Amino acid sequence: MTTKTRPGNFFEDFRTGQTLVHAPPRTITEGDVAVYTALFGPRFAIHSSDPFAQSLGLPRAPVDSMLAFHMVFGRTVADVSLNAIANLGYAGGRFGVPVFPGDTITADSKVIGLKPNKDGKTGVVYVNSTGLNQRGETVLDYCRWVMVRKRDVNAPNPETVVPELPTSVPVAEMLCPLTLTRDRYQATRAGSEFLWDDYAVGERIDHVDGMTIEDAEHMLATRLYQNTAKVHFNQHVEREGRFGKRIVYGGHVISLARALSFNGLANALLVAAIHGGRHTAPCFGGDTVYAWSEVLAKDPLPGRGDIGALRLRTVATKDRACADFPGHDASAPADPAVVLDLDYSVLMPRRI
């Protein structure tokens, strides 16, 4: 039988330096925004209100930073992680110009490293992915690494190259597309009186609320992003896999954590950078996700007195409320309740 279908790349198909051109382009609509809101319940004012966004110098409300992330990520899946077992982590993520409904996203990736695993059945693929809008402006540039199956366990492995990944995004390289004036920014409308100046390095914030993931929700979400990775959809296959059921896309957990963080970080307007992050354990339908954040740094933006960058470490847990969680040292082995450990920076108004 002849076939014109694409099975996706397996580990032995990748080569360091290879460029992957992803299909299809994706025009983001207001419907996408509505579905994203229904799935995760984000309440950040800048994404909810055109007048609020306009008070910050934008033409209208941009899409949520993480929706932009997912739309770029989704372009890459068919070529990078269709045959993945797990998405492992992120580094060096720079958010570029804001994305608005009507913008069209394209993405390309470059393979920057490959490492076979000892089991002989899988390997880790490192890529640097870039998403552009229809004007060729960068909306996101980031690295990720993913564990991918081999098609043939007897096939020779590609040459091992483990890239040196950035540990952070310099503050000088963070784009701030916002402007702030004292008389126009309404913190009460944003949902909190606490601004950049009010947070302290080392402070921990329990975001209190929890959200239970339904199978239908996480599958709908990944369809929204056109993320076709088999581990999220095909129960017929995954019941014979290592968990016996579909796993939740790790980005789904990131969006839940970001939405939950509103309670304590309501003035975190946009995500400026993802310095690093790990999915330390899988989530499944029926798990309830909680989150807490630690302030890692307060970084003034060069030449800006109106907005600062707040560097956060957000930890998401499953089926264990953060009030009952004793804390989790980033250098220690992951507690089984931890499903996400994310290091990122948000843009937040300063008192001017």
Q: What is the pTM of this model?
A: 0.94
**pLDDT tens-digit profile of 123-147?**
999 999 999 999 999 999 999 999 9
First to last CA, the chain: 69
The encoded tokens of residue 130 equal: 């870039």
- What radius of gyration, in Å, describes the C-alpha atoms of the chain? 20
158-207, pLDDT tens digit by residue? 999 999 999 999 999 999 999 987 677 889 999 999 999 999 999 999 99
Residue 99 contacts by C-beta under 8 Å, 6 or more apart in sequence? 28, 62, 63, 67, 68, 71, 105, 133, 139
In sequence order, which residues have a C-beta less than 8 Å from that of residue 170 and are 6 or more positions away? Answer: none
Q: Which two tokens stand for residue 198?
A: 């009010």
Which helix (H) or strand (E) is 238 found in, with range?
A: helix 235-238
Q: Supply the CATH classification number for the domain 11-349.
A: 3.10.129.10
Q: What is the pLDDT of residues 98-119, one digit of tens each?
A: 999 999 999 999 999 999 999 9
| pLDDT attached to residue 242 | 83
For the chain, the domains span 11-349
CA–CA distance, 126 with 89 (Å, rounded to integer): 10
Contact indicator for 337, 320 with CB cutoff of 8 Å: yes
Q: Report the 10 Å Cβ neighbour count for 175.
A: 16
Classify residue 193 as exposed, middle or buried by CB count within 10 Å of its CB (0-12, 13-18, 19+): exposed
- Which residues are within 8 A (CB) of 92 and not within 5 positions of it... i.e. 6 or more apart? 128, 141, 142, 143, 165, 166, 169, 274, 275
d(CA 68, CA 105): 9
pLDDT in tens, 245-279: 999 999 999 999 999 999 999 999 999 999 999 99
CA distance 256 to 258: 5
